[in-house]
Structure 1
Amino acid sequence: METENKTGLIVRPEAAEHVALPHGGGFHLLADAGDTGGALGANRLTLGEGADGARPHYHALSTELFYVLDGRVEFLVGDERASVGQGGMVIVPPKVAHAFGAAAGCTAELLAVLTPGVDRFGYFRALGRIQHGMDSFDSLLPEQVRYDVHFLDATTWRSARTA
């Protein structure tokens, strides 16, 4: 998939693995921690109209950066809600709760970077299976430490998204 050499990592668009999501979106898996010597992990996420991207969670070890490539995204970062459009960026430090999804009536495309990296391609593949009804969300619960994704109660986020 990637070409690694002494000067860096090159990922061509056609080489990135695509994990389809049922709302017409999907993950483009760009770099996993193993590809970057642990420096970072990166993916491009396309969300269908009004689709959730991630329920409330935090990362114990890593900072996550989101850059909105297209559309509009609703974020929850700690207790703050924000709507961020194309060209906007959100940075979430370790241990800060966050969630996100495409704004109502909008599609969205984001670049997400996690640093230091954690091997999470397996996590994104599992999310694809869950969203297609091939597995249950509960199957991810034992993997929270492995993927450094620690899930939180989603009740408030869900009610805010449907309001």
Structure 2
Amino acid sequence: MNLNATLIVQFVVFFVLVFVTMKFVWPPVMKALDERAERIANGLAAADRGKAEMAAAEKRIAAELAATRDESAKRIADAEKRAQAIIDDAKQTANVEAARIVSAAHADAEQQVTRAREELRGQVAALAVKGAEQILKREVNAAAHADLLSQLSTEL
């Protein structure tokens, strides 16, 4: 065979191969590459959106956490105020009760002193009558001299 004819046949086969490749193989390969490039671009865009959403979520979480801390501090302060108010109320009630008890004790002591004075007056009157009876060596009628005894007891 001739070298030129072989070369020409190889050129024709090469061009047919290039034509078939360009017509049937190249478009699906390019389509697959384009789809892959698009998927990669979409993935990168989704990753960027995810990062942005993550940053926004972190900001929202930080804001909610701060709000929760403030609310907790406020509730704790309110609870402390209520506890202090309850303690103050209990102290005031205890002071009133203590004053009432002291007043009742003073009144009771005053009554006991008065009763003791009355008893002492009665005893002193009885002793005075006995003493007068012994001095006079005669019997004194207590009913007849009741006015005298009551006057004596008021003087004591």
Query: Please, what TM-score do these two structures have when normalized by structure 2?
Result: 0.16
Say which structure is richer in helix: 2
Larger strand fraction of residues: 1
